A and B are shown apart, each in its own frame.
Chain A
Amino acid sequence: MFHLSYMLAELRRRRGRTILTALGLAVGVALVVTVNAVASGLDRAQQDVLAPLTGVGTDMTATRPLAIGDGDGGAEGLTEAERQRLREQAGPGPGLNLRELEPGSTFSTDTFAATRELTFSASQTAEIAAIDGVEAAAGSLTLSANHVSGTVPEIDVTQGGGPGGAPPQGAFGDSDITFESRSVTGVDPAQPDIAAVTPSQITDGEYFSATGSPRQAIVSAAYAGTEGVAVGDIIGLGGEDFRVIGIASSPIGGTASDVYVKLATLQSVADLAGQINAVRVRASSGDLVPAVADAIAAGLEGAQVTTAADLAERVGGSLDDTRELSSTLGTALVIVGLVAAVLIASLLTLASVSKRVRELGTLKALGWSRGAVVRQISGESLIQGLLGGVVGAVAGVIASLAIDAGGWTLEASVSGTADTAQAATAAGGPPGGGPFGLGQAAITTGSELVEISTTPSLPLILLAIGLAVLGGLIAGAAGSLRAARLRPAAALRTVE
């Protein structure tokens, strides 16, 4: 098209200005691409950290935490029947009275204690599943499995300072009595995606199969490591033998039990038929999570609902810091860059129109309409914008890929601070410290290195080029406004 060749000819003649304008816009665009690629890379890294933590699809977990000594939501709000059940489940630890046993004889006993979550009827799962916006709900039961064994000690009454005297240090003195406690969670094998342990966590062996033996167990990698348990081994739980079929890794920030078994098996072994103490829920859409959480909290007495967003708050470390930095500093940088680029482009376009007063006046004197002049100036700016957009996008892509190739890694960490402990309570159990602190499902603390992938996406690149074109058009509008006001008489008057 003819106009186009005139535009290109003009841009070539004012090469310096054209390059400067395009470069200004290019810098703005490169900033947009790079900052956004980094930001979404950081977001993806955060998602990666959180994904195993929330399970594949668990959006929230509903529990009934028992806040001991805490006025609201504590034991006060319970019915007498519930208090009774709590006493039965929680105390007094190993149900054993050594005085009843013959000194020197060996013994072994297994008990289950509820964690700080109250148990409730498994029928709640169905009720929660019926709430609008709930796609799936699965019950789980987390207990502390205690095992005490050893030889009944010879108690020397004279040494102990008589009845009422302080017991010797270590409660059982130098005896060979061992006390073992580990957390065990019963999961619904029919809903693996929202279970406390998901198939994706399995690092060795396999996941529960619905048809398999009820005596299957999956152990956490940490537990397997300290206890030297491997796939195929037999472990005892409540006096029953379980075959270890898989080892599961635990994501940092997640709650991990030592052992996972099928829910129905645990209920029967622990004598808690039909009881669960957590419901894991997936909403049908992410937007519905807050509403569903509210609905569950309203429907289940004393319920506490922990969402993925709550879990996200546990994650700290340089990843988190960088994300915050990128969202504030990055946004500021992009805005300043774009505004400066558009300003520079506008000023240069205005200057170029001023230099072309006679040329544009001549075109008007020869019959060009205002519209034609405006189209000419805008078209030139548009081409500059496009040029700047493409150059900037290429620069941005190169910068993003360079960062990507640099293998930038950041640390995501979860530490056992007071805050974390509180979040942990909400999510499934305290990391020790409570009255029944041993063998509880605990938050996995520690840190993880995450590689940041900053590959820019095509929509982002197109958006950035679009921004440059828009910037060019704004500059063109400024120049056009001036050019449209030029009087055609300038053709005969202006000296060059």
Chain B
Amino acid sequence: MQTTTGTAPAPAPGKQSTPAYELTGVSKVYGSGSAAVAALSDIDLRVEPREVLAIVGASGSGKTTLLQLLGALDRPSAGTVRCDGRDIQSMGEGELSRLRRDTIGFVFQQFNLIPTLTARQNVELVAASTGVPAAARVARAAELLGSVGLSERAGHLPSQLSGGEQQRVAIARALMNRPRVILADEPTGNLDSATGADVLALLQHVAADNGQTLVLITHEQAVTEAAPRVVTLRDGRLISDTRS
């Protein structure tokens, strides 16, 4: 469907390549003193480029916290998080925002589209500071909306789109800056099951097409069963990591 992106090299079997993520002894504590909450404890995790990974676990088990660390939205309390071999602990605010802009694409449970902007403007907005000329941005946004099946809806405001359509706009937005990783926190959580299945299929499809690593949090039994790798959290600990 879409072949313009995808720069990450496929991992050569048997040969050591730089992992998309490498977490060692990662802990995250919110608050301090008696109010401290240990959201993550001693997590070790390695994610290869182009891997598709589902994170599951009960509510409050730390899934979103883990995804925030992967998305360079937060820093761990202990341990190291390496993204593309770079330790996010050592990166400054500006470097982190460039990392988020150029390497990571985010998809949210609540879509998080800017309500005042059209679908196309929402997609375009994230490339505003990349130095890509405006005309090229417009063209790419239109192309991406086409690739998620929304060419006809480019000029619509989020309020004029269905939930599934909004999430597809959000997926197009996540792809805008040609990231190497797509992170999605319950992308189907606000959708009915049929629409959710479509959105999941789309995510997996574009990730595979572009050679992107896909990490998603889900409660869907079907996804968990279909995912090639499933990481389970409980009370902030990684209790299982299964590949099928």
Chain A partners chain B: yes
A interface residues (Cβ-Cβ under 8 A, vs B): 1-3, 5-6, 9-10, 12-13, 358-359, 362-370, 372, 487-489, 491-493, 496
A-B contact pairs, 30 of them (CB 8 A): A1-B134, A2-B121, A2-B124, A2-B137, A5-B117, A10-B116, A13-B116, A362-B108, A362-B112, A365-B100, A365-B106, A366-B101, A366-B106, A366-B125, A366-B126, A367-B101, A367-B104, A367-B129, A368-B101, A368-B128, A368-B129, A370-B93, A372-B128, A487-B73, A488-B73, A489-B73, A489-B74, A491-B112, A492-B67, A493-B64
B51 interface hit (Cβ, 8 Å): no
The distance in angstroms between the C-alpha atoms of A368 and B173, with both chains bound, is: 13
Best-surrounded residue of B64, B67, B97, B108 (most CB of chain A within 10 A): B97
Query: 11 new A-B pairs (CB below 8 Å) besides A5-B121, A365-B100, A368-B126?
Result: A2-B125, A13-B115, A359-B114, A362-B112, A362-B114, A367-B104, A368-B129, A369-B97, A487-B73, A489-B68, A492-B108
Whether the Cβ atoms of A370 and B97 lie closer than 8 Å is yes
Chain B residues whose CB sits within 8 angstroms of the CB of A487 once the complex forms: 73-74
B71 interface hit (Cβ, 8 Å): yes
Decide: A369 near B129, CB < 8 A? Known: A10-B116, A13-B115.
yes
Chain A residues whose CB sits within 8 angstroms of the CB of B106 once the complex forms: 362, 365-366, 491
B115-171 at interface with A (beta carbon < 8 Å): 115-117, 121, 124-126, 128-129, 134, 137
Binary per-residue interface labels of chain B (87-114) against chain A in the complex, 1 for a CB within 8 Å, 0 otherwise: 0000001100110111011101110101
Residue of A nearest to B64 (CB): A492
Q: Interface size (B, Cβ < 8 Å)?
A: 36
B66-85 at interface with A (beta carbon < 8 Å): 67-68, 71, 73-74
Whether the Cβ atoms of B116 and A367 lie closer than 8 Å is no
The distance in angstroms between the C-alpha atoms of A492 and B72, with both chains bound, is: 13
Whether the Cβ atoms of B97 and A364 lie closer than 8 Å is yes
Whether the Cβ atoms of A358 and B128 lie closer than 8 Å is no
The distance in angstroms between the C-alpha atoms of A13 and B157, with both chains bound, is: 12
Whether the Cβ atoms of A367 and B102 lie closer than 8 Å is yes
The distance in angstroms between the C-alpha atoms of A6 and B105, with both chains bound, is: 21
A490 to chain B, nearest CB (A): 9
B185 interface hit (Cβ, 8 Å): yes
Chain A residues whose CB sits within 8 angstroms of the CB of B124 once the complex forms: 2
Q: Chain A interface mostly helix, strand, loop or mixed?
A: helix
Chain B residues whose CB sits within 8 angstroms of the CB of A366 once the complex forms: 100-101, 105-106, 125-126, 173-174
The distance in angstroms between the C-alpha atoms of A358 and B110, with both chains bound, is: 10
A17 to chain B, nearest CB (A): 14
B175 to chain A, nearest CB (A): 11
Residue of B nearest to A488 (CB): B73
Decide: A358 near B125, CB < 8 A? Known: A489-B73, A491-B106.
no
B177 interface hit (Cβ, 8 Å): yes
Decide: A12 near B116, CB < 8 A? Known: A366-B173, A489-B74, A492-B185.
yes
The distance in angstroms between the C-alpha atoms of A438 and B109, with both chains bound, is: 101
Chain B residues whose CB sits within 8 angstroms of the CB of A363 once the complex forms: 125-126
Whether the Cβ atoms of A492 and B68 lie closer than 8 Å is yes
The distance in angstroms between the C-alpha atoms of A489 and B96, with both chains bound, is: 13
The distance in angstroms between the C-alpha atoms of A191 and B173, with both chains bound, is: 82
Chain B residues whose CB sits within 8 angstroms of the CB of A496 once the complex forms: 110
Whether the Cβ atoms of B117 and A6 lie closer than 8 Å is yes
Chain A residues whose CB sits within 8 angstroms of the CB of B128 once the complex forms: 2-3, 368, 372
